[in-house]
Amino acid sequence: MFSSQGKVIIFSAPSGAGKTTLVRHLLGIESLALSFSISATSRSIRGGEVDGKDYYFLSDIEFEKKIQLGAFLEWEEVYAGTKYGTLISEVERIWKNNKTVIFDVDVVGGLRLKSIFQDSALCLFVQPPSVDALHQRLVARSTESEEKIQQRVAKAEKEMAFANQFDAILVNTDLDIAKKEAVILVSDFLKK
């Protein structure tokens, strides 16, 4: 049985909204004492990614075995055949280092984590200025086919309906402003 030992910050957003950029910005502020929770995934490694830094890349069989062993705090099949999850051992590792866990997860995962951590969590939703802007950001990444981008945009439209279930919404129209707002929200939460 898992028991919460510390605070967590949860960033969720549709793919391409800017949550990873905001999380990286916060991780660069040493005074916040944050540590990134590396998710596990069954998807293939993309160019430039590093196993154990960006994700724990697991085969489908390895992922299934960890599910059976109860090793995940939460997990989900985000896209057909592609699973993501939060390992209990990862959260415990961060707390042992006296850091606050920061998550970069999809919307369903974010809400699951919020239900687990409750008042020990600050759950932030990063919203793109529009669906069109989101599509443009995904195209500019040049990491996926147009078909995958269309899947992500369709999923994003559904995910934006959940924004009001989060503690706060950061509309990422101007990245510099979104970064400042994120720092304020996280700092205020950690002082409580």
Asked if 40 and 55 count as a contact pair (C-beta separation under 8 A), the reply is yes
pLDDT, greater one: 148 or 70: 70
pTM: predicted TM-score of the whole model, two decimal places: 0.84
Return the SS3 of 21: helix
Digit-coded pLDDT (tens) for 74-132: 998 877 889 999 999 999 999 999 999 999 888 888 999 999 999 999 999 998 877 77
65 has pLDDT over 60? yes
pLDDT at position 49: 93
Highest mean pLDDT among 51-60, 128-137, 142-151 belongs to 51-60
Q: Is the pLDDT of residue 1 over 60?
A: no
Task: Enumerate domains of the chain plus CATH numbers.
Answer: 8-191 (3.40.50.300)
Report the distance separating Cα 28 and Cα 183, nearest Å.
11
Can you tell me the distance from the alpha carbon of 17 to that of 11, in angstroms, rounded to the nearest whole number?
11
CB atoms within 10 A of CB 95: 16
